């Protein structure tokens, strides 16, 4: 009998005598205002915000992706999907990739995102102290084809280039002036 009573008490309704669910906690009402601070908790620090030279912890990529954009992103199946790139294609041997870029995009400093900016980023990634460890031996050259197209020549075939590189931390695009800037 005591167990039945405890079970019945545990299945009771709201504490105000009705069977209506209680509303959640609500915050102050009013108009949204610009400014203020956003505090974002992460489990590990990163060494800086330049993805080509700084070591990012897993959560660093999450924070970095809130202010930087990659050429591609991965869908739920792990397949690369266009982001700042609109499309890409490879030659028959998968060692030359042509990347077509989204037009009308500007960086935070007002610089246009175009083939010159993308090429500067890709060249920086190829030669920067950290990212060059992985990508330096694989990327032979980066060429501007036209204002919205870059060509990446690889040292050997790399069929997974879109998902392994273009959607990686290394392919987050930065304003060209910030590539060599001191990370603050």
Per the structure block, which two tokens stand in for 15?
A: 């504490």
**Model-level pTM?**
0.74
Sequence-distant (6+) residues with CB within 8 A of 135 are 125, 126, 165, 170
Per the structure block, which two tokens stand in for 12?
A: 């009771």
Q: Report the range of poorest mean pLDDT among 28-42, 120-134, 138-152.
A: 28-42
Strands 96-101 and 80-82, bridge-based pairing: unpaired
Q: Give the strand order in the sheet containing 96-101.
A: 85-90, 96-101, 149-154, 139-146
Question: What gap in Å lies between CA 179 and CA 51, rounded to an integer?
Answer: 10
Using one digit for the tens of pLDDT, what is the confidence trace for 36-80? 887 767 777 777 778 788 877 777 777 777 888 999 998 999 899
Q: CATH assignment of 69-178? A: 3.40.190.10
**Mean pLDDT for the chain?**
83
How confident is the model at residue 115, as a pLDDT? Answer: 99
Tell me which DSSP letter residue 112 carries: B
Q: What share of the chain is helix, strand, coil (3-state, %, to 5)?
A: 25, 20, 55
Question: What gap in Å lies between CA 174 and CA 82, rounded to an integer?
Answer: 17
């Amino acid at each position: 009998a005591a167990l039945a009573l405890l079970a019945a008490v545990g299945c009771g309704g709201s504490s105000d005598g009705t069977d209506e669910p209680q509303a959640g906690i609500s915050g102050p009402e009013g108009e949204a205002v610009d400014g203020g601070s956003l505090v974002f908790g992460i489990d590990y620090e990163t060494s800086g915000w330049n993805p080509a030279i700084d070591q990012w912890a897993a959560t660093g990529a999450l924070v970095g992706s809130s202010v930087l954009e990659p050429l591609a992103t991965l869908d739920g199946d792990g397949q690369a999907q266009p982001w700042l790139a609109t499309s890409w294609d490879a030659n028959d041997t998968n060692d030359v990739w042509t990347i077509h870029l989204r037009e009308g995009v500007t960086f935070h400093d007002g610089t246009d995102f175009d083939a010159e900016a993308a090429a500067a980023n890709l060249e920086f990634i190829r030669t920067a102290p950290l990212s060059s460890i992985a990508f330096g031996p694989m990327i032979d050259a980066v060429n501007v084809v036209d204002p919205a197209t870059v060509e990446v020549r690889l040292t050997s075939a790399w069929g997974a280039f879109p998902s392994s590189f273009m959607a990686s931390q290394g392919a987050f695009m930065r304003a060209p002036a910030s590539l060599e800037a001191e990370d603050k």
